[in-house]
Amino acid sequence: MATSEERMQILKMVADGKISAEDGSRLLKALEEGSRPKPPPPRRFKVRITDLATGRAKVNLSIPMGLVDVGVKMGARFTPEMEGANFAEVIAAIKSGAHGRIVDMTDEGEGERVEIYVE
């Protein structure tokens, strides 16, 4: 957490000519970014498959994040025909801290919409 004392030291260095105003601005911004609380890590991996004709959910799955690697790899084995689905990218997005909807695909041939969320 950036204290007012730390901010004042930066402003004094700018006033004394020890650092430029631009450098002071960058330092102040870095202090503020460091003081922001980080969002909690995602806890649930959710998959929803909806029938396009009826709008009803065919699959509504929620698993703990600890099982994601296994679950995504198993899902990739059972759905090799899903064009455009790169499961390695999904796992990379999850591990990088993505939140919210990370996949939203429509399979017109099967009449399904696939959504993957991380919450």
Q: Report pLDDT digits (tens) over 96-108.
A: 777 888 888 888 8
Range of the structural domain that residue 54 is part of = 44-118
pLDDT in tens, 69-81: 676 666 666 665 5
Over residues 32-51, mean pLDDT: 78
Bridge partners of 112, per DSSP, are: 51, 107
17 shares its domain with 54: no
63 and 110 in one domain? yes
- Tokens 């020890």 — which residue? 18
Counting the structural domains of the chain, the total is 2
Cβ neighbour number for residue 2 with a 10 Å cutoff: 16
Give the DSSP H or E segment for 90.
Answer: helix 87-95
- Answering whether pTM is above 0.75, one says no
Asked whether residue 114 falls in the same domain as residue 81, the answer is yes
Residue 13 DSSP class: H
Same domain assignment for residues 22 and 52: no
Per-residue model confidence (pLDDT) at position 86: 65
Q: Are residues 18 and 67 in the same domain?
A: no
**Span of 8-22, 33-47, 71-85, 102-116 with lowest mean pLDDT:** 71-85
Q: Which of 40, 25, 19 is nearest to 97 (CA)?
A: 40
Question: Among residues 63, 48, 44, 61, which one has the least CA distance to residue 106?
Answer: 48
109 and 93 in contact (C-beta within 8 Å)?
no
Q: For residue 51, what pLDDT band results from cuts at 50, 70 and 90?
A: very high
pLDDT score for 75? 63
Predicted local distance difference test score (pLDDT) of residue 89: 75
One domain, residues 11 and 64: no
Same domain (yes/no): 90, 66:
yes
Pair 81, 111 in one domain: yes
